[in-house]
Structure 1
Amino acid sequence: MPKVNFTLRLAQEYNRLYRSCKTAPLRFGEVDAIVDTILENRDRYEDVSSVVGAPWFFLAAIHNMESGLDFTCHLHNGDPLSARTVHVPAGRPKSGKPPFTWEESAEDALRMRRIERVESWSLERVLYELERYNGWGYRLYHPYVLSPYLWSFSNHYTSGKYTADGRWSDTAKSRQCGAAVILRRLEERGEISFSEPPETPLFYYSTGLVEGSEKLQEFLNGIEGITLRVDGRPGRKTSNAVKKAFGFYLAEDPRNNG
């Protein structure tokens, strides 16, 4: 499946949707019950989180989506831990012998998707990685439907889903609580918090210090395949990263005139 890059425009979309997300009133009790169960098992999520570097609540949201918070199932896809996975992705974990512990399976599922390489876990990056975990089918092939993996049980989702791998229905409805809705409720209950992103400043190419450019470098480091020193000097490497992420160099980069 084609890759969807983490861009500033996509980050802004995630932030807008999350901040305007409202749980469907008839689902309040169900969402709170899910959150209660997650909090009861927070220690287990934190144990795996400490190994792979992802936030514990990111792991918990995936666990709910893939196996309904069942600790006897693989995090990859909900198959039983008594054997390697059968459904996509099949044959996981590749190392070790079944039965697997949930922690072993969870670490394998996250490393398989290279989650440990994510350096910055902003709200927007969390939502991007959640959607990437499930796949880009909605965004690429059914863009009129926001992914229920994120938004089911909210004002951002009504109907439309994959009923099986590669099989689509406009009328089918997800019966699972979306991951973003879980995060929103965790935040409402004071269990997690996301800071508002700073206003995006205008930057220009310079080999010297430019006030505020550290924020640009930190943002760029959250994009897969980009690693910058956060030094406040938006020179050639920072401009290269901007080109990779957005398709253009920084203003005043000499290469803009080449």
Structure 2
Amino acid sequence: MTTASSAAVPTLIGSVQRALRLLEAVGTHRDGAPAKQLAREAGLPLPTAYHLLRTLTHEGYLRRENGVFLFGAAAERLGCGPAAAPRPGVIVESLARWADVIRAPVYCALYRDGEIDLVAVADTPAFPAVREWAAFRETGHAHALGQCLLGQLDERAREDHLDRHPVRQLTRYSVRDRLTFLDRLRAMNRTEPVVERQEYVLGTVCAAIPITVGSSLAAMAVSLPLEQEERLLAAVEQLRCEVTTLLRSFVFSISI
């Protein structure tokens, strides 16, 4: 006989829980991850992970490319994949909270339709944002957000962007020419923040990280006065942790 206390306990389907843990693991890797890594991060035996990954791929929730698993079209339609980003209001609210917690201005930009688009900025009276004194979309070579976004493009797209928005020196610390800038982009390590020191505006340092926001290339950044440069890397790593937590929460917003 079913007791009142047992009736109040929801029936949990283990395979669904395990599949969601795999989806969560996939959601933390912008460029995908192999089965062994996903199994480890989801806390699953490798054979179980393989079986679930095959099933999720067959159903369209995942896709496999070059040995790694990424979100598929079905997951995107449900709202847990790259094409279904958090709502704009959530992003704005989150930026405001992060700016207060991190004690630094927080910026979010997308690369869409061939242009750098600064979509949101949050700051506080104690830590004001950098004033856009030179057109932001035209000076991507000189600020961390732009460098981070352009670093995610392929060679042809980079060349096209720089044909339309040539490299020009904004401060004495800015990159001086196109070839030097392209060499810098090729040398970037995508696992490390992109750091810019007084290249866009004197007296300010900035660090940016790539993120997943919809199907667009995206980046977030923090800036600080030059005299607080020692805080920069810790601040952007704190931002990375906050962004990862937000995106993972959307993975778990699937209704079954």
What range describes the TM-score normalised by the shorter chain of this pair? under 0.3
* Bigger Rg over Cα: 2
TM-score by length of 2: 0.22
